[in-house]
Structure 1
Amino acid sequence: MHWLLTLIVIGFVLLCVGFNYRDKQWGVGLLSLGILTMFSTLAFKMYITFY
């Protein structure tokens, strides 16, 4: 389960860098990628818990 924690940390890093460069197009892309990464880990954890 260490890879799940690694994904969460990567998602936070993407969110932080994307937020710092939110005025540029690639910053918004990094924000979106960070949000998708965070939601994917949440969805996977819910899938493991309920199925």
Structure 2
Amino acid sequence: MLSWTVTFIIIAIIAGVLGFTRIARGAAGIARIFFFIFVVLLLVSLVSDVFG
């Protein structure tokens, strides 16, 4: 699960960079949502890996 989370956070960061610099203005909101969702998933995955 950790590998999936890292993969998706990298995709979200790329989408966020494109959206935050207004290259893809319409996708900025979606990229922001995905970015924060995958940050939360990364943290949950790290915590479950440490304590699980």
TM-score relative to the length of structure 2: 0.61
User: Structure 1 residue 13: deviation in Å?
Assistant: 0.8
Gaps of 5+ in 2: none
Letter in 2 for 1:9: I
Q: Give identity over the alignment, percent.
A: 16
Higher relative contact order (Cα pairs below 8 Å, separated by 6+ residues):
2
Matching of residue 7 in structure 1 with residue 8 in structure 2: yes
Gaps of 5+ in 1: none
Q: Give RMSD over aligned pairs.
A: 2.1
Q: What is the aligned length?
A: 49
